[in-house]
Structure 1
Amino acid sequence: MKRRIRRAIRRWRVRRWTRHLLEAADCRGSLRINGPGLVRCPSRLTLGDNTHLTGEFHIDARGKVEIGDNCHISHRFVCYSVNHDYEGEAIPYDEKLLEKPVVIGDNVWIGFGVSVVPGVTIGEGAIVGMGAVVVSDVPPLAIVGGNPAKVLKYRDKEHYERLVGQGRFGGVNGALVQKKPRPGTDI
């Protein structure tokens, strides 16, 4: 019985928090959040259509964070868009924050335990492997991993463009979400 009550309270908290996020952030379509997470300054967060965030994520959007369409972000994702000024007027740092926007392009898949530092852009169609620490820009269609994240290989561009052109995008657990094809593409 206690377990049931705890689960009900947890679900209520997640729903309440999700409702608050949806009211404050710029959500451009369907959004799915599984489990608890923290967003600092949700008014500076933009979430694209068919975006999925799973539990225990932390997004500090004070410097602005944009997440594109069809992005899937796994558990324990950490993203900061601000940093302290270590060259300021106090040691180790002063109260001034350096804002550096983070941009995550369309159709990006981010694995478990990924960390993204301020000022990074993750290109369209990229895949960021489990546990990666992204300290520099990730090119479009790159598959990166490690600490610091390095390009391991690239996705097949023709295959990727064909699927995008046909409007074939993964939803929850990879289930197909069919969208209208882009103009000028044949199915």
Structure 2
Amino acid sequence: MSGLFLSKIYNAVANSIHKAGIRRTKFHLLGAGVSIGRPFHCSGERNISIGEYTYIGPGAKLYGVGGITIEKGTIIGPDVTIYSANHVFRDAHYIPYDHRVDTKPVSIGENVWIGGNVIIVPGTSIGEGSIIGAGSVVTGTVAPFSIVAGNPAKVIGSRDASHYNKLKSENKIYFRAKQLGTLQQ
């Protein structure tokens, strides 16, 4: 690819991140080709890693004090909230809770698709290639290639792992192809 072409892509992504009010240096890791819509709310940025060619839709809220890892190629719809900590309420010094927080990291595998208005709670792990239906509340562990939906989210299907792995081996990652201008109809 030409340097001019790659420069245009870099500038478009940098502009997207700038418009969202994000400073790359605040994050533990912010990969190439990341695009974040605005408005965007984020805290605990130093505990957040976002892999390359990840898209985060407008209205997202990431509370990273307990750690959030989003691996490459993930697409996150609008108004998604990810929590990685909760107030301590068991044996608390006050009610309904006290000043302490219980941190539990969240991990989201490669090429996960998360629909709009999803809530992900502390300690959740979403496996590679999974799809999370819009409006779901996700807790615990989601196995790779699972399709989950609901509140609480339950497995409603699974992806074809061999087809997924074929596309992955060919580097056919949607948001990457879209940004590089190689998306084919």
What TM-score, normalized to structure 2? 0.83
Contact 2:109–2:126, Cα closer than 8 Å, also in 1: yes
**1:7 match:** none
What TM-score, normalized to structure 1? 0.83
**1:43 match:** 46
Q: Are 1:141 and 2:145 matched, yes or no?
A: yes
Contact 2:16–2:35, Cα closer than 8 Å, also in 1: no
**1:5 match:** none
Q: Cα distance 1:16–1:23, how it changes in 2: closer, same or farther (>3 A)?
A: farther
Q: Cα distance 1:14–1:160, how it changes in 2: closer, same or farther (>3 A)?
A: closer
**Aligned equivalents of 2:20, 2:37: Cα separation in 1:** 11
Q: What are the equivalent positions in structure 2 for 1:54-73 lying under 5 Å apart?
A: 54-73=57-76
**Aligned equivalents of 1:155, 1:75: Cα separation in 2:** 23
**Gaps in structure 2 of 5+ consecutive residues:** 1-14
**Aligned equivalents of 1:43, 1:160: Cα separation in 2:** 32
**Gaps in structure 1 of 5+ consecutive residues:** 1-11, 180-187
Contact 1:66–1:104, Cα closer than 8 Å, also in 2: yes
Which structure has more RCO (C-alpha within 8 Å, separation ≥ 6)? Answer: 2
Contact 1:55–1:76, Cα closer than 8 Å, also in 2: yes
Contact 2:19–2:38, Cα closer than 8 Å, also in 1: no
**2:3 match:** none
| TM-superposed deviation, 1:35 | 1.9
**Aligned equivalents of 2:88, 2:145: Cα separation in 1:** 33
| SS in structure 1 of the partner of residue 173 of structure 2 | strand
**1:162 match:** 166
Q: What are the equivalent positions in structure 2 for 1:84-163 lying under 5 Å apart?
A: 84-87=87-90, 88-163=92-167
Q: Cα distance 1:36–1:14, how it changes in 2: closer, same or farther (>3 A)?
A: farther
